[in-house]
Amino acid sequence: MIEVKNLTKRYGDRTVVSHLNFTIAPGKIYGFLGPNGAGKSTTMNMITGCLAPTEGVVLIDGHDICEDAVAAKRQIGYLPEIPPVYPDMTPEEYLRFVAGAKGIRASEIPDQVESAMRQTDITEVRDRLIKNLSKGYRQRVGIAQAMLGEPKLILLDEPTVGLDPRQILEIRELILRLGKSRTVILSSHILAEVSAVCDHVMIMRRGKLVASDTLENIRKNNMPENRVSVTVKATPAAVEPVLRGIPGILSYETKCDTEEKELTDLEIEVEPGQDIREKLFFAFAEKKMAVRKLARAELSLEEIFLRLTDDSEDYEEDGDGGEENGSGVSSSEEENEEEDEEDDEEDDYVPLFGKKTDGEDEK
Amino acid sequence: MSAIYKKELKSYFSNMTGYIAIALILVVAGILSRILNFRGLYGGMEGILPTLSMILMLAVPIVAMRSFAEERQLKTDLLLYCLPLKTTQIVLGKYFAMMTVFAVPTGAMLLYPLILSMYGKVNFLSAVSSLLAFYLLCGAMCAICMFMSSLTESQVIAAVLGVSALVVCYASTILAEALPATAIASFLAFTVLICLLALVVYYFARNYWVAFAVGTVLEAGMLIAYLIDGSRFAGLFQKVIGSLSLFQKMNEFVSLQLFDTTVLIYFLSVSFLFCFFTVQTVEKRRWS
């Protein structure tokens, strides 16, 4: 459906999107996720031909968006971040104009406009001027515009920004309905939104793709394999000798439970490939220390997203692709290693923990 | 292209701009015709056109200011970019819509010779051909102002740029006449023009070296020509500006009462050139 090869956008010395490579398969809902300024809108503008890339190619069904623009754009419906509507037109006039501009035959325009208005639920405001409509309705008019011409691909740039919770739910339902019959790509900086509607997620940070997979796989691949979280009914001083007697532990952190002073929370890092949970259980049992919790350490989706898109490190961008510099302030050595690895494997998805996975192979 | 054309045309008449421009031209045309034809007892209505073309300096920017500036202001330019249309189609759609607005007063003025013929002898061919020249002059001005509109996202700035460009165009002959007709004055005036041209090149190319190269080559060529035969430069600037002035051409067309096709072709060429510049400006924004 879409092939993006080496897509790069530079403004002077600033690299906004850096060497993106991915493919979009038909019939799914894709989500571009990333913090503000990650390059999501720029990427979408380049995919839709609104912005010319500095380097790289975008192929829509085999048509180059720059070389064979008209054929490629016929496959696309696009709703930019700000709905591109004319305030002095009514939704119906506006949709008729867009339908005409998309080259839909005059005889088909009334049916298509009617169908788009019905699907986006704007029939009741068809004769009101767009400038008098609420933000939610304007957004719907924008989505209706994108649906005209039955494009195979619909791109929605932050479609729920500025809407109230009810409108957000309605737009999400609409996107899910659209996704049944065509490919949808939406961008958002809200994880909940993407996890609610998308089959496949692409996480961007500073113009680079840092993850591309289903949310489930992203979660799985970023789970720390070699960390165990334990809560024991004992003081830290009593726990430490027990831990020292167990082989395979690389390091551990202890802290007193804030609510019950008798409890100690432990975060234990073990050698890769080892499962010491049973050993821990029996060691504590032998000392008559009750184990309240014993599990592999887990990160929530929010934590994974925050770690993947963490901008706290002091990156330096150069004019040649904005490569990250590992010399910045970093929270741990482990993360520095990740950054270095990411530089080497520019566009491949590198999980925070565990094995490296190629995002495209997963599809 | 027809979708853009229809939308633009409708928008000119759904707000005031189209009506204001048409009314402005027709009111002034009526007053001028009353003075020249009825009070002056003169049968040629085309006599009002050179003076009437001055009102275009106001009417054309009113119509053209919103063409591209408004799209940028409303962020609807992204819609135009992602529609399966070529930039040329978008620009021509808008240009022809503007031309249709100006076809209304021009068409209405076609009635003037008919009315005047009720009172005496009227040269219809001269009147109609002059109105054709007037219409093409409108076209050239529309193209210039549309280009100005494509440079900014503020309609007010677009209007100011448009009026300024047309005033410079109108006053260029007067300014050129004010310069001494000596060879060195012409040489210096051309040097200023070459500098301005280099600035325009820089605006489009965003490259100092290209702009510098264009400026240097032109200046060097002119210097060589000046050194070979400096006397040819005497009064040359005035001649060149006079032959490039839109208003001067209109005056000549009407006063000589000749169907001078070079004037019509010149107006068409200016229209084409500025439509081309507009396409380039709109395209360029996609890259920057």
Q: CB count, 10 Å around CB of B34?
A: 12
Mutate to test the interface with A, among B12, B78, B85, B87 (most CBs of A within 10 A): B78
Is residue A161 located within the same domain as residue A205? yes
Chain B CB within 8 Å of residue A302 CB: no
- The CA-atom distances, in angstroms, between B98 and each of A72, B5, B74, B180, B275 are 30, 9, 20, 40, 12
Q: Does A94 map to a domain?
A: no
Which residues in chain A have Cβ-Cβ distances shorter than 8 Å to B79? 80, 84, 98, 145
pLDDT in tens, B64-93: 999 999 999 998 988 999 899 899 999 999
Q: Which residue of B has its CA nearest to A80?
A: B78
Q: Which residue of B has its CA nearest to A42?
A: B286
**Total structural domains within chain A:** 2
Residue A50 is nearest to which of B74, B78, B86, comparing CB atoms?
A: B78
Q: What distance in Å separates residue A34's CA from the closest CA in chain B?
A: 22
- Digit-by-digit pLDDT tens for chain A (363 residues) are 788 888 898 888 888 888 888 888 888 899 888 888 888 889 999 999 888 888 888 998 888 888 888 888 888 999 998 899 999 999 999 999 999 999 889 899 999 999 999 988 888 998 999 999 988 889 889 999 999 988 889 999 988 887 888 888 888 888 888 888 889 999 888 888 888 888 888 888 888 888 888 878 887 777 776 788 888 888 888 888 888 888 888 888 887 766 666 788 888 888 877 788 888 888 888 888 888 888 877 777 777 777 777 755 544 443 333 333 333 333 333 334 444 444 444 444 444 444 444 444 433
Is residue A213 located within the same domain as residue A270? no
Q: What distance in Å separates residue B68's CA from the closest CA in chain A?
A: 13
Q: Does A243 map to a domain?
A: yes
Q: Does A145 map to a domain?
A: no
Residue B14 to residue A88, Cβ atoms within 8 A:
yes
Q: Which residue of B has its CA nearest to A131?
A: B74
Residue A101 to residue B15, Cβ atoms within 8 A:
no
Is residue A17 located within the same domain as residue A65? yes
**3-state per-residue secondary structure call for chain B:** CHHHHHHHHHHHHHCCHHHHHHHHHHHHHHHHHHHHHHHCCCCCHHHHHHHHHHHHHHHHHHHHCHHHHHHHHHCCHHHHHHCCCCHHHHHHHHHHHHHHHHHHHHHHHCHHHHHHHCCCCCCHHHHHHHHHHHHHHHHHHHHHHHHHHHCCCCHHHHHHHHHHHHHHHHHHHHHHHHCCCCHHHHHHHHHHHHHHHHHHHHHHHCCHHHHHHHHHHHHHHHHHHHHHCHHHHCCHHHHHHHHHCHHHHHHHHHHHCCCCHHHHHHHHHHHHHHHHHHHHHHHHHHHC
Is residue A178 located within the same domain as residue A234? no
Residue B75 to residue A76, Cβ atoms within 8 A:
no
Final residue of a structural domain among A296, A322, A355? A296
Mutate to test the interface with B, among A13, A60, A90, A97 (most CBs of B within 10 A): A97
Is residue A171 located within the same domain as residue A283? no
Is residue A170 located within the same domain as residue A263? no
Q: What distance in Å separates residue A103's CA from the closest CA in chain B?
A: 8
Residue numbers in chain B where pLDDT is lower than 50: none
Chain A CB within 8 Å of residue B287 CB: yes
Q: Does A59 map to a domain?
A: yes
Is residue A61 located within the same domain as residue A170? yes
Q: Does the complex come out with an ipTM higher than 0.90?
A: no
**A-proximal residues of B, 67-86, CB under 8 Å:** 74-79, 81-86
Q: Does A261 map to a domain?
A: yes
Is residue A276 located within the same domain as residue A182? no
Final residue of a structural domain among A296, A313, A343? A296
Is residue A70 located within the same domain as residue A159? yes
Residue B3 to residue A97, Cβ atoms within 8 A:
yes
Residue B287 is nearest to which of A52, A73, A93, comparing CB atoms?
A: A52
Which residues in chain A have Cβ-Cβ distances shorter than 8 Å to B82? 48-50, 73, 76, 78, 80
Q: What distance in Å separates residue B92's CA from the closest CA in chain A?
A: 14
Chain B CB within 8 Å of residue A87 CB: yes
pLDDT in tens, B122-158: 888 888 999 999 999 999 999 999 999 999 989 999 9
Residue A248, token pair as written in the block: 């395979």
Chain A CB within 8 Å of residue B16 CB: no
Q: Does A286 map to a domain?
A: yes
Mutate to test the interface with A, among B10, B82, B87, B283 (most CBs of A within 10 A): B82
Residue A48 to residue B76, Cβ atoms within 8 A:
no
At residue A331, the pLDDT reads 35
Is residue A177 located within the same domain as residue A274? no
Residue B76 to residue A70, Cβ atoms within 8 A:
no
CATH number at residue A14: 3.40.50.300
Chain A CB within 8 Å of residue B285 CB: no
Range of the domain at A256: 227-296
pLDDT in tens, A145-199: 999 988 889 999 988 887 888 888 888 888 888 888 889 999 888 888 888 888 8
Chain B CB within 8 Å of residue A11 CB: yes
Q: Does A337 map to a domain?
A: no
Final residue of a structural domain among A296, A311, A339? A296
Is residue A168 located within the same domain as residue A289? no
Which residues in chain A have Cβ-Cβ distances shorter than 8 Å to B10? 93
Is residue A62 located within the same domain as residue A164? yes
CATH number at residue A246: 3.30.70.260
